[in-house]
Structure formats: structure tokens, C-alpha cells
């Protein structure tokens, strides 16, 4: 019975054009990767600054493993919180300009652990419809009531907040939306939070390292502080090129999370070598501003080129530059055509994105060259007649 059920589920996923296939990447991450023996230009990584395989980051990892071993041995509160973790927390707090930071094993776990510790039954969480799955799942796990507002619509949020006056409310949003690349209207959200007495939490997984003064993310882009956004989540597996996540905020917020956040308390600490490698990559992200400048220049080149060939892009100036295609099969086909032309570009389908907005999620990193961007544009030009369905999508905007 179970066997039949599983097969039916998988067949149904396939019938709906939602079957997901993994590809085995040989060798390290980078602007180019080897898949099935072929060298492909990699336009789907979140290693925006090109640090995942940087020699200093690799060296820090190796030396730390030799010094501390591999496993952390236990959860932070038992005996797993090592000198490397502590130093990284202090450096992250200093980088982001907050009193303290707390490491989590992944961004997914950070979001689950923070929201479920901060709110519960009888309270409310307001989330942008396009928030990352981990923020949405976190609200469900918390037992608070989840209210989703239309994407970036602060007027709608205001109406909903008014209706919840008197309750303890948390507003949670991506800083940079992971599948669209646009920014949340953070100044408006911060003002609403203040007016209504709600707390604002920003998951800046894709903004930290890539945008804002010194790579301090979407809050820095808008000049917002801890007072505006008391809860900030960052991830380490994207621009910082390693693995893990952190929450930054007031000393009391962090102390409370240490006491109450279940995904912090009941899990093994990150390997210390990951923390040491991240200290090295944080140093590079801060010192080598050319990495950010280079990604931004490649993004501008892509957007200018796209406008010239009539390819419609979304309203994003971040390294995430999706090409909305519309239906699932067309997105998968477009990704396969690009693959045969030597480009690795992921087709993103529901439930990761809303139905009817399947897309090619093109991302740029400091490892790419102008010539590679131009070649991608040429390949997209050839694809254009087949993917123009995206024009009909509400989400599509001009470049």
C-alpha cells in the first residue's frame, strides 16, 4: 500500500511538471562547474562573492580542522560552543553593528527557532506572500496565527495590523526576495511596526555581503538600525560562501534565544572549522569591496543587454535576476536548452514560486566574466521566442 502510494505521488508530481532532478557537480563551486563531464558556466549559485572556494577560506577550514577536529561534539549549551564559534559571533555582531549575534546551524533552523521562540498561540505573525519557505514554516510551527500580505504591499499590511490592534505581533520579511531579487519596502515596514507596536524581523540571507554600504545588506541600503529592525537573520552559505546562519540583535534578544530557541538548543553546533572558514570569508567580504562592485557591474551589463534584446526582467538590482517564463514545462525546457549551450541555470517552479510564474533564476557572482554574461545573453536571445510567455505574468517587469 505504501509503495503504491509513493509511486502515485511521484507520478503525480511528474505529471504536473514539478519533478525535481538533482545534478551531480564534480569539483568545487565556482563561476564554472563540471556536470556529467562537461564544463558549464554556473549561473545558479548563491556564492555571490565567489568565496566558497577561496584559498584563504579553504586554508582556514583546513587549519581549523587540524586544530579542533571535525565535529563540535555536542550542542552549544552542552559542550559544543568553541572558541571559533564565539569569535565568529563577536565578529558578526561587530560587522552588522548589533550588540550580539548567535550562530545557528542553517538559515532554515534560525528562522524556525527565532519565530517559534518569539510568538505563540493567540499572537500573530505577518508575512510577505513571497517570503522564504522557512519563514512561513516557522510561523506555522509557532502556533501563532499566520497572516500573509500581498508582496511588498505595506498598505495592505497596515490594514491587517489595524485589525489586530492589542495583540502581540511580529512582522517577518525577506530583505532581498530569494526568487525575485527585489527588496522589501523596509522603511515602510519599520514605520508600520513602530506605529503598531509590532516587532520587525528581516531575513537578509541574500542581501548581506552583496548590497548596502560595506555589504551590510538591505538594512544598510535603507539606513535602518537595530531600533527599526530588532531581529536580523543572516545566512553564511550564500555571499559568505560557507555554511550556517546567525541572528543578530540586542543582548537580551540573544540571551532569550539561547534560553528558548529549540532549533538552537536541541542540535549539534556547527563544526568549528566552518566557523573559522567563515571568519576568513567575512574578512574578505569586508576588505575586498571589488567583489561586490564586480557583481553589480555584471548585473548592470546583463540588464542593459536584456533590455536591448527585449528580454523582460524583474525589478531587481541585486545578483538575483530571474527570467519569468510562466509555465513549468517551458521553464524546464529553457533550462535544458541552456544546459546544452553550456550554462547551468535552474528552472524554479511552484511551490518555490507562485503558480504560473515558473522562471529561470539567473544569479551572478564575482567569479563570472563579462564575456560569460554576453554569451548568456546570446543564448537567451535564441531562446526568446519560446519563453515570451513570461510577458503575460503579472510578475514580469521591464528591464
Query: Could you list the residues that contact ligand PMP (CB under 6 A)?
Result: 106-108, 111, 132, 134, 174, 178, 203, 205-206, 235, 237, 245
> Was 215 annotated as part of a binding site?
no
Half-sphere exposure (Cβ direction) of 390: Cα atoms closer than 13 Å: 30
Does 178 qualify as catalytic in the annotation? yes
Q: How far is the CB of 81 from ligand PMP (least distance, A)?
A: 19
> Was 20 annotated as part of a binding site?
yes
- Taking residue 219's Cβ as centre, other Cβ atoms within 10 Å add up to 24
Coil/strand/helix, residue 16: coil
Nearer Cβ to ligand PMP (205/325): 205
Nearer Cβ to ligand PMP (98/206): 206
> Was 352 annotated as part of a binding site?
yes
Instruction: Fill in the DSSP letter of residue 310.
Output: T
Q: How far is the CB of 126 from ligand PMP (least distance, A)?
A: 17
Question: Is residue 84 within 8 Å of residue 276, measured between CB atoms?
Answer: yes
Query: What is the rounded end-to-end Cα distance, in angstroms, of the chain?
Result: 51
- Catalytic position from the list 206, 294, 335, 393: 206
- Catalytic position from the list 238, 261, 316, 393: 238
- Catalytic position from the list 105, 142, 154, 178: 178
Q: How far is the CB of 10 from ligand PMP (least distance, A)?
A: 24
Q: How far is the CB of 131 from ligand PMP (least distance, A)?
A: 8
Nearer Cβ to ligand PMP (115/224): 115
Does 196 qualify as catalytic in the annotation? no
Q: Which residue minimizes CB distance to ligand PMP? A: 107
> Was 159 annotated as part of a binding site?
no
Nearest to 293 by CA among 120, 11, 48, 72: 48
Q: How far is the CB of 93 from ligand PMP (least distance, A)?
A: 19
Nearer Cβ to ligand PMP (181/305): 181
Strands (E), the chain: 25-26, 32-35, 38-42, 100-104, 124-128, 145-149, 169-174, 199-203, 231-235, 245-249, 320-326, 343-344, 346-348, 358-363
Nearer Cβ to ligand PMP (174/367): 174
Instruction: Give the full edge-to-edge strand order of the sheet including 343-344.
Output: 25-26, 32-35, 38-42, 343-344
Burial of residue 326, with CB atoms counted within 10 A of its CB: 0-12 exposed, 13-18 middle, 19 or more buried: buried
Nearest to 112 by CA among 82, 143, 89, 81: 143
CA distances to 17, 189, 201, 230, 275 from 198, in Å: 40, 10, 10, 10, 33
Does 194 qualify as catalytic in the annotation? no
> Binding site for substrate: which residues?
20, 132, 352
Catalogue the active-site residues: 178, 206, 238
> Binding site for pyridoxal 5'-phosphate: which residues?
107-108, 178, 206, 235
> Binding site: which residues?
20, 107-108, 132, 178, 206, 235, 352
Amino acid at each position: 500500500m505504501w509503495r503504491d502510494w509513493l509511486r502515485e505521488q511521484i507520478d503525480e508530481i511528474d505529471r504536473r511538471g514539478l519533478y525535481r532532478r538533482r545534478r551531480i557537480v564534480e569539483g568545487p563551486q565556482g563561476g564554472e562547474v563540471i556536470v556529467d563531464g562537461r564544463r558549464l558556466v554556473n549561473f545558479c549559485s548563491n556564492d555571490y562573492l565567489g568565496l566558497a572556494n577561496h584559498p584563504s577560506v579553504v586554508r582556514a577550514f583546513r587549519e581549523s580542522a587540524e586544530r579542533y577536529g571535525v565535529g563540535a561534539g555536542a550542542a552549544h549549551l552542552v559542550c559544543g560552543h568553541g572558541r571559533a564559534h564565539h569569535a565568529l559571533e563577536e565578529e558578526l555582531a561587530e560587522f552588522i553593528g548589533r550588540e550580539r549575534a548567535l550562530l545557528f546551524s542553517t538559515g532554515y533552523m534560525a528562522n524556525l527557532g527565532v519565530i517559534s521562540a518569539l510568538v505563540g498561540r493567540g499572537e500573530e505573525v505577518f508575512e510577505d506572500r513571497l517570503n522564504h519557505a522557512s519563514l512561513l514554516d516557522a510561523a506555522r510551527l509557532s502556533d501563532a496565527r499566520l497572516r500573509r500580505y500581498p508582496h511588498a504591499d505595506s498598505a495592505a499590511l497596515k490594514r491587517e495590523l489595524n485589525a489586530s490592534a492589542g495583540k502581540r505581533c511580529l512582522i517577518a520579511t525577506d530583505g532581498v526576495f530569494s526568487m525575485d531579487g527585489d527588496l522589501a519596502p523596509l522603511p515602510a515596514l519599520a514605520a508600520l511596526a513602530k506605529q503598531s507596536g509590532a516587532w520587525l524581523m528581516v531575513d537578509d540571507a541574500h542581501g548581506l555581503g552583496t548590497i548596502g554600504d560595506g555589504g551590510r545588506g538591505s538594512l544598510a541600503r535603507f539606513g535602518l538600525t537595530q531600533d527599526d529592525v530588532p531581529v536580523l537573520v543572516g545566512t553564511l552559505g550564500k555571499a559568505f560562501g560557507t555554511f550556517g546562519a546567525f541572528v543578530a540583535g540586542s543582548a537580551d534578544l540573544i540571551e532569550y534565544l539561547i534560553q528558548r530557541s529549540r532549533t538552537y538548543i536541541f542540535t549539534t553546533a556547527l563544526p568549528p572549522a566552518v566557523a573559522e572558514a567563515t571568519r576568513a570569508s567575512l574578512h574578505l567580504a569586508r576588505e575586498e569591496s571589488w567583489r561586490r562592485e564586480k557583481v553589480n557591474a555584471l548585473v548592470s551589463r546583463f540588464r542593459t543587454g536584456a533590455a536591448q534584446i527585449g528580454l523582460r526582467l524583474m525589478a531587481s538590482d541585486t545578483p538575483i535576476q530571474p527570467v519569468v517564463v510562466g509555465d513549468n514545462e517551458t521553464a524546464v525546457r529553457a533550462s535544458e536548452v541552456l544546459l546544452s549551450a553550456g550554462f547551468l541555470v535552474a528552472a524554479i517552479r511552484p511551490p518555490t514560486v507562485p503558480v504560473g510564474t515558473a522562471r529561470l533564476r539567473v544569479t551572478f557572482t564575482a567569479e563570472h566574466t563579462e564575456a560569460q554574461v554576453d554569451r548568456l545573453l546570446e543564448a537567451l536571445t535564441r531562446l526568446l521566442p519560446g519563453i515570451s510567455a513570461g510577458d503575460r505574468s503579472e510578475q514580469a517587469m521591464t528591464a
